[in-house]
Amino acid sequence: MLRTDHPLAGGILVGEDGPDERGARPTNNAPDALHLGRQNPDGSPDYHGWPDRFGFLPSSQAVFNPIGGPSDDVCPPPFSQATCLANLRAANDIPIGDVLAFPPQTITSPLAIEGADSSFTGVDFVPDAFVRDPVRPGAVLYSLEGDFGFSPENATDPAPVIGHEVKLINFNQLPNTPLSLQIQNFARNSTGDQAFVTPNLNGFNRPTNIRFGPDGCAYVVDYGAVRDQGADSHVVGTGNGALVQIPGTGVVWKICPM
């Protein structure tokens, strides 16, 4: 339960895992988004633009055009990028068309966006017992599971791959001021992407949920590392399908204030 003086009081905070390069409406580069849902004066929920708004932009923007991937419905095996793109154009999937003729109501923009395929999986508000610098009262921690190799990596060297981490949001605390968010890294791998098969698997792999316990500590459920179906193909043999967990890599992390 939020305090009545919290900047988000009366709303619901939601992390949206955006579309990607697979399925019947393949999409590339679409960000994930953090939304504050509220009720309209008539009691109906506000509208955040799905399925024709990705983050702050319409889905028809060229930046979201699919580039063709083995998980796209019109790209059967054996996979060929050229054939896949030709099939996408023939199916009128480039550019991405609107699903709705017009928005049912005014579109509410997200509070913030994260990188493509960063994958929101858990959101929780910090208790007072967890408040230590840099965590302020009323802050939020959220977990990002990271990409699964359906699209190219969402960052290039030397930048780290986005996701596989826990982030912190502090909110402005001054009364009668516009809502503002300060987002920063809180807990992440220090040796790069460890979500797939690598020599080191001793950091966050795929944090899928975060909840605070009665002891004031944060508990992060980590699914573990997986075999993916990316271009570098960590999938080995017909018995090892995509996204199979690597045994022994799942864990529950406990984070307590010092």
- Say how far apart CA 62 and CA 256 lie, in whole Å: 44
pLDDT of residue 12: 92
Whether residue 164 sits in one domain with residue 244 = yes
**Residues 89 and 83 sit within 8 Å (Cβ to Cβ):** no
- Say how far apart CA 101 and CA 120 lie, in whole Å: 29
pLDDT of residue 229: 56
Given 65, 92, 113, which residue is the final one in a domain?
113
Q: How would you list the strands of the sheet with 12-16, edge to edge?
A: 12-16, 32-37, 112-114
Whether residue 145 sits in one domain with residue 85 = no
pLDDT of residue 258: 83
pLDDT of residue 174: 73
Whether residue 210 sits in one domain with residue 198 = yes
Whether residue 216 sits in one domain with residue 108 = no
pLDDT of residue 26: 92
Whether residue 13 sits in one domain with residue 85 = yes
pLDDT of residue 63: 95
Q: Counting runs of H as helices and runs of E as strands, what totals does the chain give?
A: 1, 12
Given 113, 136, 166, which residue is the final one in a domain?
113
What the block records as the tokens of 203 is: 């950091």
Enclosing domain of residue 90? 1-113
Given 113, 139, 173, which residue is the final one in a domain?
113
Whether residue 83 sits in one domain with residue 3 = yes
Structural domain total, the chain: 2
Whether residue 180 sits in one domain with residue 107 = no
Residues 6 or more apart in contact with residue 85 via CB below 8 angstroms: 67, 68, 94
Whether residue 11 sits in one domain with residue 131 = no
Q: Reduced to 3 states, what is the DSSP secondary structure of residue 128?
A: helix
Burial string for 28-62 (b: 16+ CB within 10 Å, else e) reads bbbbbbbbbeeeeeeeeeeebbbebbbbeeebeee
Whether residue 125 sits in one domain with residue 108 = no
pLDDT of residue 109: 94
The pTM of the full predicted model, rounded to 2 decimals, is 0.86
**Residues 16 and 32 sit within 8 Å (Cβ to Cβ):** yes
Whether residue 100 sits in one domain with residue 7 = yes
What the block records as the tokens of 251 is: 């864990």
pLDDT of residue 241: 59
pLDDT per residue, tens digit, the chain (258 aa), is 556 778 888 899 999 998 988 888 999 999 999 999 999 999 999 999 999 999 999 999 999 999 988 888 898 888 888 999 999 999 999 999 999 999 999 999 999 999 998 889 999 999 999 999 999 999 999 999 887 777 777 677 666 667 788 999 999 867 777 888 999 999 987 665 555 555 556 678 889 999 999 999 999 999 887 765 555 444 455 555 566 667 777 889 999 998
pLDDT of residue 232: 46
- Say how far apart CA 25 and CA 94 lie, in whole Å: 10
Whether residue 229 sits in one domain with residue 162 = yes
Whether residue 109 sits in one domain with residue 9 = yes
